[in-house]
Amino acid sequence: MENDKLSDDQSPLTIKNRLQPHWPVLGIVFGIVSGIFDFWFFRFLNIEMNFAGGQDAVPLVVLFFSVNICILGYTIGRLALAKVGLRENAETITKQMLALEESRTRVLESEKLAAIGRLAAGIAHEVRNPLGVIRASATMLAEEKDTESDGARARSFIVEEVDRLNSFVTGLLSYARPAQLILTDAKLSEIAEAALGLAKKEYEEDSVTFSIELATKALAIQGDSGLLTQVVLSLMSNGAEATGKSGALKIRCFEEDGFAVLDVLDDGPGVEAEAFEQIFDPFFTTKSTGTGLGLATAARIIEGHKGTIEALSKNGLGPDGRGACFRLRFQLLKE
């Protein structure tokens, strides 16, 4: 029944497409048919029109109007074709402009990533070695018995800050380098469960409550399970930090419109409204100690899977949807 309905819906469109190039000719045919109909209509009603000499004027009158209708039909057909052509040209130009804008965006993104890559390589070369020396020296001094003095605290502070700078350089390199994806058939539920297990282990000393809600059937996608697990774990870590490590986090997997969807939700303060437009931009962060590369790197990995990542408002675990909700969407593999 569904196929029959589809065929019925498509038939008028197919006929229209076939007749469209012949609209001017159909206008002429309509004029001729109209003239024949008018002629026989006049005869049927016994309508008489005569010239001054008594000759029958009906054929000439009908012919006159038929010719005019033919000309009018032909003109309308040509105008209709011109309108269709203009509309098609406008659609083509719009598509080309969108494609050009997408290409321009990709070129700018590639140039930006290339610049970041060069910058990251320079930083890694020039900064990492001195950082290693500084950290090794501070660690050596920290082995002394004095642990309560200002000097001891300063040594500990140096080690922590060096580790933070080294983490920033590592994140910069990770973002600048294109992810090497190893795509295989993967189950979204297995990725979610793996990330949940790692998160529980990472925050086992905190009072974070973890939960998971899986789809009723396995959701198969094409992806790199390791990298996707890292992305989900990173989102959960952000949620744990946002909730003060004492809140609730949840992973939810489901199917929607032919896509496999994974949500990471928490009951923290959520994403500020003004941050939604920039949240996935590199170096943008709302944390006092953040680098702004975590979500940007996650977005690059998801884009490499031809998927999407977005932050949803009022979809968290808290009252009235308070909290953050990050949604990953992937093309679902056909069974």
Query: Confidence band (pLDDT; 50, 70, 90) for 15?
Result: low
Q: Report the interhelical angle of 294-304 vs 225-242 (nearest 10°).
A: 150
Share of the chain above pLDDT 90, in %: 23
Mean pLDDT for 25-29 is 81
154 or 88: whose pLDDT is higher? 88
Mean pLDDT for 107-133 is 74
Evaluate whether 61 touches 49 at the Cβ level (below 8 Å).
yes
Gap between the Cα atoms of 160 and 154, Å rounded: 10
In this structure, of 22-26, 47-51, 203-207, 260-264, the range with the lowest mean pLDDT score is 47-51
If you search the block for the tokens 């109209």, which residue do you land on? Answer: 34
Of 278, 265, 257, nearest to 318 by C-alpha is: 265
Q: Give pLDDT, residue 289.
A: 65
53 pLDDT above the threshold of 90: no
Gap between the Cα atoms of 284 and 291, Å rounded: 8
Which of 99-108, 201-210, 211-220, 292-301 shows the highest mean pLDDT?
211-220
Gap between the Cα atoms of 2 and 263, Å rounded: 34
- Pairing relationship of beta strands 209-213 and 248-256 according to DSSP bridges: parallel
User: How many other C-beta atoms lie within 10 A of the C-beta of residue 272?
Assistant: 10
51 pLDDT above the threshold of 70: no
What separation in angstroms does the CA of 289 have from each of 165, 208, 235, 292?
Answer: 11, 21, 17, 9
Of 228, 224, 196, 191, nearest to 212 by C-alpha is: 196
Query: Confidence band (pLDDT; 50, 70, 90) for 331?
Result: very high
pLDDT tens for 187-224 read: 999 999 999 999 998 888 888 899 999 998 889 999 99
- pTM for this one? 0.58
Gap between the Cα atoms of 251 and 214, Å rounded: 8
Q: Give pLDDT, residue 218.
A: 84
Cβ contacts of 163 within 8 Å, gap of 6 or more: 135
Gap between the Cα atoms of 250 and 232, Å rounded: 11
Query: Confidence band (pLDDT; 50, 70, 90) for 148?
Result: low
Of 259, 256, 258, 268, nearest to 311 by C-alpha is: 268
Evaluate whether 260 touches 302 at the Cβ level (below 8 Å).
no
Q: Give pLDDT, residue 11.
A: 44
Q: Which two tokens stand for residue 262?
A: 């994974």
The residues pairing with 155 across neighbouring beta strands, listed in sequence order, are none
Q: Give pLDDT, residue 52.
A: 67
Q: Give pLDDT, residue 223.
A: 92
- Pairing relationship of beta strands 259-266 and 248-256 according to DSSP bridges: antiparallel
* Domains of the chain, start order: 17-177 (no CATH), 184-331 (3.30.565.10)
Q: Which two tokens stand for residue 218?
A: 């396995």
Q: Give pLDDT, residue 219.
A: 92
- Pairing relationship of beta strands 308-312 and 209-213 according to DSSP bridges: unpaired
Query: Confidence band (pLDDT; 50, 70, 90) for 161?
Result: confident
**Pure H helices in the chain:** 2-19, 23-44, 58-142, 150-176, 188-202, 225-242, 294-304
Q: Give pLDDT, residue 1.
A: 43
In this structure, of 120-129, 157-166, 219-228, 303-312, the range with the lowest mean pLDDT score is 120-129
2 pLDDT above the threshold of 60: no
If you search the block for the tokens 């593999």, which residue do you land on? Answer: 333
29 pLDDT above the threshold of 90: no
